[in-house]
Amino acid sequence: MNRSTLIYGALSCLVVIGIVLFFSTTHSEVLQILAAIPLVGALLAIPVQILRDEAAYQKTLMVEQYKHQNAIATSSHMAIVAFDRHVEFCEAYVSGVYGALYTLLRGGPNEEVLEDAGKLVDIREKYALWVTPSIEEALMPFEQAFRTIGANAYLVEAIRTDVSQADQRQEAIDKMYNTFAQVMGFASWAGKELTEDLAIRTLVGKVRAVLGVQALTDLRRTAIEKAHSSLN
């Protein structure tokens, strides 16, 4: 017997008792009023309980619907395939990012990083079906940063001996090294504070966010903690 059945049973008993007392005390108006109190209370409580049960029922329906939708979203074949492709994309992309980082660490800002930027574009195109526009939008600034370094490095070498373009060459050098400093995560460059918006560690963090690595780790830790607590 569930809780609602017990409540309705108790209220029904109060109604019956109230009716019996009310009609058995017709000789006394005071006793009738006293007998009517539980009757009125029970009659008022019944619709309130009905509303509570309806709310609980609707909540149960919503929870079941959410569970059903969640099961479809996480357990369907397409969802599994999409997640697997996201994992493949993220692993390939991060590998390409660290390839660009190695190029920069090995030779400083140089035009070879243009090739690394091109590889990142190729990776995105390979997984274009599985990469959402929001993911592409988040990654584009980093690829552009690598291209900026490479293109300016190429320009610096191309006009090295042209005295008439000394100012343009210096501008390219400044832009190249400033972008390089941002990508490497320097706190400042040439006396100016830099943000971490283009830092490689920020990029890796964005890729982790695509997979929900932090959320999955937190869920796993919470599950382990609850299991450990139940054992104790």
Summarised one tens digit per residue, pLDDT across range 205-221 is 888 887 776 776 776 67
Long-range CB pairs of 8-14 (<8 Å, 24+ gap) are 8/46, 8/49, 11/42, 11/45, 11/46, 11/49, 12/42, 14/38, 14/39, 14/41, 14/42
pLDDT for 67 beyond 80: no
How far is the C-alpha of 221 from the C-alpha of 219, rounded, in Å? 5
How far is the C-alpha of 80 from the C-alpha of 133, rounded, in Å? 20
Highest mean pLDDT among 32-36, 49-53, 165-169, 227-231: 165-169
Confidence of residue 53 (pLDDT cuts 50, 70, 90): low
pLDDT at 35: 54
Predicted confidence (pLDDT) per residue in 121-130, tens digit: 999 999 998 8
Question: What average pLDDT does this structure show over 145-166?
Answer: 93
Q: Which two tokens stand for residue 30?
A: 């005071």
Residues forming a β-bridge with 188? 193
DSSP string, 142-205: HHHHHHHHHHHHHHHHHTTT-GGGHHHHHHHHHHHHHHHHHHHT-SEETTEE--STT-HHHHHH
Q: Which two tokens stand for residue 10?
A: 């108790």
Confidence of residue 188 (pLDDT cuts 50, 70, 90): very high
pLDDT at 73: 46
pLDDT at 74: 47
Overall pTM surpassing 0.75 (yes/no): no
pLDDT for 189 beyond 70: yes
Break the chain down into helix, strand, coil percent, rounded to 5: 85, 0, 15
pLDDT at 205: 87
pLDDT at 150: 96
How far is the C-alpha of 162 from the C-alpha of 177, rounded, in Å? 21
